[in-house]
Structure 1
Amino acid sequence: MQALQSTVDAGEIAKFEAMAAEWWDENGKFKPLHMLNPCRLDYITQQIAGEFDRDLKAAKPFSGLRILDIGCGGGLLAEPMARLGADVVGADAAGRNIPVAQIHAEQSGLEIDYRHTTAEAMAEAGEEFDVVLNMEVVEHVASPIDYLTACRQLLKPGGLHICSTLNRNAKSYVMAIIGAEHVMRWLPKGTHEWSKFITPDELYALMRDAGLEPVDRKGFVFNPVSWSWKLSDRDLSVNYVTASLKPA
């Protein structure tokens, strides 16, 4: 098997290294993710439960499932997956995120395997998972197709890949760049590069080229009146999420 090239973008990693200590501050630089997290979790848990025939009302519905949260940051998704009973690995190329995540997990009484590593390195090592969570990462890597190929290699046959990112259009520029970074100041200026945003059709094509089978996509829509996010079957104009499978 040909060795995988790293898709880590050093400039992108540096941005998140600088913000590492603020991961669990709900009013800090990661406020947008804290606001979005309930909506993300709703989609993720429903997709996993549906694919692996799990009852979300059970005490530990994801028991027996091995889940990778790639680009785990401070653990905003890894911790809920662990509470649901999954065997969780959280991986991040930004090394300063890992001790933040480890300390918070220990304080929360959770056992999570956090690692300073990359998708490519884990794929090279032969790691396999039932589920790969790839949330808000693909727009930050140097080569999306190589990165998604590594994600596919990390899945067991029939495994589930959940990937969210930002659409590329005029509305996403206004909302995600001007609105979130310049007006609301939810994120430091320069956190995102609009040119790296990926349209839903482009992402579907990339996933197919990487050997994944897309099965679902929905939008994350922000309501400024209720100050909350919801899932949408139709509106994928800014933030959106996809589900795909590795053929069995």
Structure 2
Amino acid sequence: MTATTINDAEVAKFTAMAEEWWNPNGKFKPIHKFNPVRLAYIREHALAHFGRDGSLLRPLEGLTILDVGCGGGLLCEPLSRLGATVTGIDAAERNIAIARLHAEQSGVAVDYHATTSEALAAEGKTFDIVLNMEVVEHVDNVPLYMKSCADLVKPGGLMLTATLNRTARAYALAIVGAEYVLGWLPRGTHDWKKFLTPDEIKTLLKRNGLKVTGETGVVYHPLADEWRKSRDMGVNYMVMAERPAA
């Protein structure tokens, strides 16, 4: 049997919510709120790393980007508009169907596939930038998943991992607060035991030949109703890594 990272229960959970992906006030409202800070971080590091001119309308022209666990395509579409050649993959076929339909209606070119990172890596595919955004806490066999994502990064390319820290504060805010008190997310969206610490993520990145080049926490500011970068990595955080050029 071929090893897999698919957690069937997690796939079913997100399949059931697939129609909600592009509703900014629906079940994925927190992701819509989170998107600007994620997109800005990707753009900032891509421009610096690949020496691109941020004043251009399509500064990521010519770069290939893979979004692993892309859901409905909330990151894929804006990155395509910035000029990148974007591929989005997701284990849930319903998510891919929704993403394809929305991209077609929006006139945005994104190459979507219902597949996994390990399947794509087995095909020998590689990309300039691999996005591993809020996915690692939903998969089985985390070491295999992180290896497959790392294998998809070209020499000289980048991988961004975003996830939740395994802290008491993350449990209180991301699960008790977000799911049970505020109702931002459906109950059962997250399992605290599957959260990974920044050190665990960085160890997996280094084990698979990547060099960590940046990290940041992300915190919610209720008065501004927006997420911002922060030194505080106690709940949400992002780690940028590079595969050294050959």
The one of 117, 139, 142 aligned to 1:141: 139
State the match for 1:243 in structure 2: 240
Tell me the amino acid that sits aligned with residue 164 of structure 1.
A
For residues 152-173 of structure 1, give each alpha carbon's deviation from its aligned partner in whole angstroms, at most 9, with x where no partner exists.
Answer: 1111111100110000111000
> Alignment partner of 1:172: what SS?
helix
Classify 1:217/1:195 alpha carbon distance in 2 versus 1 (closer, same or farther; 3 Å). same
**Mapped partners of 1:152, 1:204: distance in 2:** 12
> Percent identity at matched positions?
53
**Mapped partners of 2:153, 2:3: distance in 1:** 18
State the match for 1:75 in structure 2: 73
Structure 1 runs of 4+ aligned residues shifted over 3 Å read none
The one of 89, 95, 98 aligned to 1:97: 95
Q: Mean alpha-carbon deviation: is it higher for 206-215 or for 75-84?
A: 206-215
**Mapped partners of 1:4, 1:236: distance in 2:** 35
Tell me the amino acid that sits aligned with residue 134 of structure 1.
N
CA contact (8 A) 1:145 1:209 kept: no
**Mapped partners of 1:208, 1:127: distance in 2:** 20
> Alignment partner of 1:96: what SS?
helix
The one of 67, 75, 84 aligned to 1:86: 84
1:168 corresponds to 2:166: yes
State the match for 1:230 in structure 2: 228
State the match for 1:14 in structure 2: 12
State the match for 1:218 in structure 2: 216
State the match for 2:181 in structure 1: 183
> Alignment partner of 1:243: what SS?
strand
**Mapped partners of 2:28, 2:136: distance in 1:** 18
**Mapped partners of 2:2, 2:16: distance in 1:** 27
The one of 202, 205, 210 aligned to 2:203: 205
1:4 Cα deviation (Å)? 6.7
**Mapped partners of 2:12, 2:185: distance in 1:** 14
**Mapped partners of 1:176, 1:93: distance in 2:** 24
Tell me the amino acid that sits aligned with residue 243 of structure 1.
M
For residues 64-85 of structure 1, give each alpha carbon's deviation from its aligned partner in whole angstroms, at most 9, with x where no partner exists.
Answer: 1111011000000000110001
> Alignment partner of 2:93: what SS?
coil
**Mapped partners of 1:54, 1:143: distance in 2:** 36
State the match for 2:60 in structure 1: 62
**Mapped partners of 2:163, 2:200: distance in 1:** 11
CA contact (8 A) 1:93 1:117 kept: yes
For residues 112-165 of structure 1, give each alpha carbon's deviation from its aligned partner in whole angstroms, at most 9, with x where no partner exists.
Answer: 100000000000111110000110001111122111111111111111001100
Tell me the amino acid that sits aligned with residue 239 of structure 1.
N
TM-score by length of 2: 0.97
Q: Mean alpha-carbon deviation: is it higher for 157-166 or for 54-63?
A: 54-63
Q: Mean alpha-carbon deviation: is it higher for 18-27 or for 207-216?
A: 207-216
Classify 1:4/1:66 alpha carbon distance in 2 versus 1 (closer, same or farther; 3 Å). farther
CA contact (8 A) 1:149 1:211 kept: no
- Paired residues, what number? 245
Structure 1 unaligned spans of 5+: none
**Mapped partners of 2:124, 2:2: distance in 1:** 12
